[in-house]
Amino acid sequence: MEQSAGTGGQGVVESYFSCDFNMMTAWTKLGELARAPYDLTAPGALSPARIRSYRAQAAGIDLLYATQRVDEPVLAALQRLAEQSGAVAQFLLMKRGEVLNRIEGYASEERPVLHTACRDIFAPVSLAPEVSAQAKAELEKLADFLAALEAGAIVNVAGEPFTDLVQVGIGGSDLGPRALYLALAAYKIPGRRVHFISNVDPDDAAAILNGLDLARTLVNVVSKSGSTLETLTNEELVRQAYAEAGLEPSRHFLAVTGKGSPMDNPARYLRSFYMFDSIGGRYSVTSMVGAVLLGFGLGYPQLLEILRGANAMDLAAEEPDIRRNPALLLALLGIWNHNFLGCETLAILPYSQALVRFTAHLQQCDMESSGKSVTRQGKPLAWKSGPIIWGEPGTNGQHAFYQLIHQGTIIVPVEFIGFRASQYGRDLLIEQTTSQEKLVANLLAQALALATGQANENPNRSFAGNRPSAVLMADRLTPYTMGALLALYEAKVVFQGFIWNINSFDQEGVQLGKKLAGRLLDHLAARREGQDGAAEAEDDPGLALLAEVSKKV
């Protein structure tokens, strides 16, 4: 179902919501082409001309995809798939605030999806001016708070500046913010540190608190509803530590929450910053969820650079031509590998130690978004949705799991992420090359080895090749580049969801486990109060299982 990206409106939304992946003519064509995909091992298959041509660029990031099993007919069919699904048109509708977080005819969240509005304050014209204005107002509040910290207007009871901040949150309130802070630690303010408590495991909180001077530490508690059980539990653990140290928590605690939530309480928090319903947890890094700690740890100017980079990639994602839209092209290459070449997983391998937790963030962003088995009409999917996302930084991974990627019995497509220069610039020549040159050489060698393989009479040393990969390359991992890289992957996930006709913005799959855990916790609380639940456990598999694991060895 093709529509103009500029038509907008609910009628266009409805037309795309009924657009099934396997009913498009592009689906049929891609299925035919997948019977004999491009052979990367053929003589001359990776020619210099192909490598130069198969390159897309935006916001300072190059996508090199010559090592994918695609050729001109496949790229043409993928372009047609993008057009028939209205991928870019739906992206624009999303940015304008159309309600895309829903399932037709069934109870669902029924919300707009406007994480892009957090950073379109830099765009000439905002497509969602109301939400953009909200984001700008929160940024101004944050700028005032950070300036007061810097000027010494906000200090602890002893008149000392705050040196540390602990982020208390889970899921999207932890993974993305943690990944970006670690990625940009080279840019942190001297004398400032940020720490994270996410797991409800009490040892997580204890390990962080044991190494802190609480008197000089701020605590940023993040929960949109103000009722996330793990976060509230950890908050109370931290508050108890402050009380035991003779400190008043309200002089140290910050809140990032929904306006009017139980946490929106000036009696308990030094400052409150707002997050809004239109910004989902795993897409919330550039909202106050990530901005508070990034502003504290890196400084407000660096935070703005992250937002500028993200906005630049958001604008590039509006480009209909897939060869000039890296996020859309990467999404389509993923669909080609997953739906047509039958690859079940995707390894995202950054050749940068700073991105040590970025794949973990992308794992949530992708698998929580694309782990769906019904269409936006609530019908069972007749095609595969998202792949399994995993990975670790190179070159460490080369000495761990690359053996399977090269010679295992399954094909694992790879997305490599690399940088031409290091962050710190501290390097030296060893055997006539620098460490950064060794890092980049290893990245490129892996992509080439996966593609071309190696023939050998010794079967143990034979590599089949034809294992697809792509390379994302930028000059240096800066705040701007990090913002662009983040937005690229957010858009990639969103595009794939539009094409698969799934709701990428809810996460009902996590609710059942929470519900069952709540029943078990109610039982434990009742037992602590002296109530006997033994008879009930006989008929309840959950309680019976709890009884078994409660037995001491």
Q: Which of 14, 32, 259, 514 is catalytic?
A: 514
For residue 537, which amino acid is it? A
CA distances from 332 to 25, 87, 91 (A): 15, 10, 15
> Is 508 one of the catalytic residues?
no
Partnered with residue 345 across adjacent β-strands are 388
The residue whose two tokens read 């790229």 is 75
Name 164's bridge partners.
193, 217
**What are the residues facing 346 on neighbouring strands?**
389
283: helix, strand or coil: helix
H/E element, 111: strand 111-112
Quote the tokens at residue 248.
Answer: 């008043």
DSSP one-letter code for 408: S
Q: Find the catalytic residue in 399, 515, 551, 552.
A: 399
For residues 287, 289, 291, 292, the Cα torsion angle rounded to the nearest 10 degrees is 140
Distance of alpha carbon 469 from the chain centroid: 20
* 8 Å CB contact between 406 and 462: no
Which residue in this structure is represented by tokens 């082409």?
A: 33
> Is 104 an annotated catalytic residue?
no
Q: Which of 83, 368, 415, 490 is catalytic?
A: 368
With contact defined as beta carbons under 8 Å apart, do 234 and 195 qualify? no
Instruction: DSSP letter for 379, please.
Output: P
> Annotated catalytic, 141?
no
Active site residues: 368, 399, 514
